[in-house]
Chains A and B, each alone.
Chain A
Amino acid sequence: MAVENMTEPKPMNELRPEEKLSIAGWAQKNLFSPWYNSVLTAVGVILVVMLLKEAVPFLIDAQWPAVTTNIQILLVGQYPSEELWRVGAGVLPMPFIVGLAWGVWGSMMRTFSVTLVVSAVLTAISSLFGDSMSSGLALWFTVSPFLVLLGYAVGRRDFIGPRQVLIIWFLFLLLTLFFLRGFGEDSAMPHVPTDRWGGLLVTILIAQVGIAVVLPLGIVLALARQSNLWFFKGAAIAYIEVLRATPLLALLFLMLIVSPMFLPDVTTPDRLMLAFIAIVLNNSAYMAENIRGGLQSVSRGQVEAAQALGMRGSHVTLVIVLPQAIRATIPAIVGQFIILFKDTAVIALVGLMDLLGAAYAIILGQDAWRTADPEVFLFVAAVYWIFTYGMSSVSAGVEKRMRTGAD
């Protein structure tokens, strides 16, 4: 047990027996007593009714075709139409891995998985009511919930552990990237340059690859900052303090617009890669500070005890300090992941077409939908919400598990 100062011998929810209340009793208790809560409830109801009175007619009359006819660029941006099968096939393992993680980790992944399944099912159903979505895309959304369930079934078996899930996820991510990128011009999968990737695909890829890179980088930086060697310590402090004090947008402008001036003439820089590097640089500085907080929370006694047992310095750090530090900072780490996911939207401002960039391209560039900005932005917000809500529910699950001490 890493946490020493636990005051509660048992988790909260077991201390207090759950009260069973009728609906009326529940309302009486939560909405109308004491008297000022009745006033607040009344005001709240009036506000909700006023909102719905405006929102319901809007949602019914809304120009949803702005979203449905453009679903392709919202999801994959400018990825060539004839190569779309590669996106479908390349991203197909993702729902499976989400299901696998659900099976292995159990409850803490449940909300995330269920949210994804429900939204995929809703999308598949909505495709029945319009002919705008391509059949391949509709098929993808129909198949993916089953893949989540299949992954869950496999994950429930004992032959696969958390570490294996992470390895599988990482390998599939690499595979997906190769699949999307393609090979030579004449091969079955011709090269698709990254400036044609876009939409939700880019948002999710940057977030996933970013998470895979930022966490290790953050750990290395945090350790370097704690180091006794002046060079590593100085370099880590310089890196963290400079990049944490630079706005992400400024960093993006530097990477995408200023850095090409220093590159040789014949090479055209990969803009998506430059944007990705900017996001990683910025987020890893924050991540390093999160983890440093965790490192400092591990009591000195742990280190001394390990040294007393005759463990070597690096061994003490890797086996004793780091696991406890990371464990203590998981909520902060997941919080940083959520920030990273939302940060990806900033790349729309430097002309890249992520989900938000695609939304701008539709309402500003396509004359037919010049007045459909509420619809398109609502769709974008909903998609972001689905993913960030899923991620924060994972974070909540982790915290709950840490409190109960189960592992």
Chain B
Amino acid sequence: MPKRLILLLSSLFVLTAIVACSSNSDELQTEVDDLKSQLAAAQSGAGGDGPTQAELDSVKAELAAALASGSAGGDDATQPSGWGSRLKLVKERGKLICAATNDSPGFSFINETGDWTGYGIEMCKAYATAIFGEYENRFEMQAISWADRPTVMQAGKIDVMVLANTQNARREATWGNFTTIHHYAGMGIISRLDSAVVADDWQSLDGATLCVSAGTNYVPAAEDLKGQYGIDFEMVQLADPGPAYDEGRCDFLIAGKADLGRNKADYTDPDAHVVWDALMGKDPWGMLVGHGDDQWYDLVRFVEWAMINAEELDVTMDNVDDMVANSQNAKIRRMLGVEGEYGQEVLGLDTDFAYNVIKHIGNFDELVERFYSEDDETRIGGFYRPRANDALWNEGGLLFAPGLE
């Protein structure tokens, strides 16, 4: 008997809970509809013995309030639902939350005093600066692991994922939106000079032996080569192929192109190897934001684009104040917010957001140089990575950023 009673009570409880949760939005909807019809009635009857102007205003205010609290942003009727919800959340929280792994040299890592460092972390600061005008105590880093990425994006607790993420269709579809592409990476090949393999000659790979890291996307890419060039080679899949390649077990090795140069320096005889010029596969890197809030997506993209444009226009951390005061270049004046509003406000940004970002973080070139410069003395933590495809469009690269015009 008591067993049944408990079962009955608990199922009742669960039912009530479900109803309570689901009815929330319905109630709001009826409330809004109610207010809307009141407003319509009031407006049609205005002038006669209908409600006074004051009554009308109060209904209008109620309507606006109900709308604002109901749909997560949406105070602008022309924007799709979800617009502005993330920015609202960030502002309520007073802090931007970025997720990163702590194992990417130059991009996101932890220095000897325990501080987050790297390109990704500087970008998180840049987004915080664009929103709040400063980044001190305005951003928070959350450590995640590579395997966490899809679930972290689905959980939606973080605002931006500042990872060395490669963009592809499946991730775009299931994880979220990739924002500005800041690094055009790809796979590369390093080969031994004492082997029959000749640099950048695909046919010379026929009959050779490849070392490749097991379980990565390098393996299918290597398979693709066979069909593409009509060649055949032996594949040795290892968890860490570097040492095996160094000992001469293989003739060539496939890995991320940016890594090959510094791997070469670790080999017993660095001069016995050559890094191919060829770039296999396209791995564009971009920060990630969740699906469903176009304002947030645009905001994040335009911050990084503004930094790229600042490089193009030679606006740096040091000369930005001078530019605000003296520049006659309309593009610069618009970007820095000297000449009014070009949509920044609808994106949720201050007109001078780009000024704040450049003042505190610097332009794109300054940021990249901080972690990937050729100069061992000034470089922090990272390694030398030539700009190559990451150069501006007018310097032979692929960076072509929309401005505020």
**Bound Cα distance from A269 to B152, whole angstroms:** 13
* Bound-complex Cα distance A358 to B110 (A): 9
| Complex interface bits, A246-279 against B, C-beta within 8 A gives 1, otherwise 0 | 0000000000011011000110110100000000
Q: Mark B76-119, 1 if CB is under 8 A from A, else 0.
A: 00000000000001001100010001111110111111111000
* A-chain residues with CB within 8 Å of residue B104 when the two chains form the complex: 364-365
| Minimum CB distance partner of A348 in chain B | B145
Q: Once bound together, how far apart are the Cα atoms of A72 and B112, in whole Å?
A: 7
Report Cα–Cα, A260/B151, bound state, in Å. 10
From A3-11, A74-82, A99-107, A377-385, the one touching the partner chain is: A74-82
Contact string against A for B residues 140-172, beta-carbon threshold 8 Å, 1 for contact and 0 otherwise: 101111001001101111000000000000000
Does the CB pair B155–A353 fall under 8 Å?
no
> Cβ of B133 < 8 Å from any Cβ of A?
no
Report yes or no: B113 in contact with A266, Cβ–Cβ below 8 A: no
In chain A, residues 65-93, which have Cβ atoms closer than 8 Å to a Cβ of chain B?
69-70, 72-73, 76-81
Bound complex: CA of A70 vs CA of B111, how far in Å?
Answer: 8
The answer to whether B110 touches A257 (Cβ under 8 A) is: no
Contact across chains for B97 and A257 when beta carbons are under 8 A apart: no
Q: What 1/0 mask marks residues of chain A from 347 to 375 whose CB sits below 8 Å from any chain B CB?
A: 00111110001101110111110110000
Given contacts A268-B97, A365-B108, A366-B109, contact A257 B151 (CB under 8 A): yes
Q: Does A241 have its Cβ within 8 Å of any Cβ on chain B?
A: no
Cβ A364 vs Cβ B103 within 8 A: yes
Interface residues of B in 43-76 (CB under 8 A from A): none
**Contact present for A367 and B110 (CB under 8 Å):** no
Alpha-carbon distance A362/B104, docked complex (angstroms): 10
Which parts of B261-285 form the interface with A (CB within 8 Å)? 262, 266
CB distance from B24 to the nearest CB of A (A): 13
Interface assignment of A304: CB less than 8 Å from any CB of chain B: no
A257-B152, A265-B89, A360-B103 known; A351-B113 Cβ under 8 A: no
B interface, over-half SS: mixed
Known contacts A351-B101, A360-B103: A266-B89 contact under CB 8 Å: yes
Partner of B110 from the list A73, A258, A260 (CB cut-off 8 Å) is: A73
B262 touches A81 (CB 8 A): no
CB-based contact A258/B151 at 8 Å: yes
Q: How far is the CA of A357 from the CA of B382 in the complex (A)?
A: 20
Complex contacts, B256 vs chain A, CB 8 Å = none
Interface size of A as a range = 35 or more
Determine if B114 and A350 form an interchain contact, defined as CB atoms under 8 angstroms apart. no
Tell me if A210 is interfacial: C-beta within 8 Å of chain B: no
- Chain B residue nearest in CB terms to A82: B113
Interface centre among B102, B104, B105, B151 (most CB of A within 10 A): B102
- Known A-B contacts A78-B110, A365-B110, A371-B266; the reply to A195 vs B143 at CB < 8 A is yes
Determine whether the beta carbon of B112 is less than 8 Å from that of A69.
Answer: yes
A198 within 8 A of B: yes
Q: How many Å from the CB of A126 to the closest CB on chain B?
A: 17
Q: How far is the CA of A352 from the CA of B102 in the complex (A)?
A: 10
Which residues of B sit under 8 angstroms from A77, Cβ to Cβ?
Answer: 114
Residues of B within 8 A of A360 (CB): 102-103
- Report B204 CB to chain A, min CB distance, Å: 30
Task: Tell me, in angstroms, the Cα distance from A367 to B112 when the chains sit together.
Answer: 12
Query: What separation, in Å, do the CA atoms of A80 and B113 have in the docked complex?
Result: 8
Residue of A nearest to B144 (CB): A351
Q: Nearest CB to that of B102 among chain A residues?
A: A361
**Nearest Cβ distance between residue A68 and chain B, in whole angstroms?**
10
B89 and A73 contact, CB distance less than 8 A = no
Contacts known (A266-B92, A351-B145); A367 close to B114, Cβ less than 8 A: no
Q: How far is the CA of A122 from the CA of B256 in the complex (A)?
A: 42
Enumerate 8 A-B pairs (CB-CB under 8 Å) in ascending A order: A195-B143, A198-B114, A257-B152, A258-B155, A349-B145, A364-B102, A365-B102, A370-B266
Task: State the A residues within 8 Å of B (CB).
Answer: 69-70, 72-73, 76-81, 195-196, 198, 257-258, 260-261, 265-266, 268-269, 271, 349-353, 357-358, 360-362, 364-368, 370-371
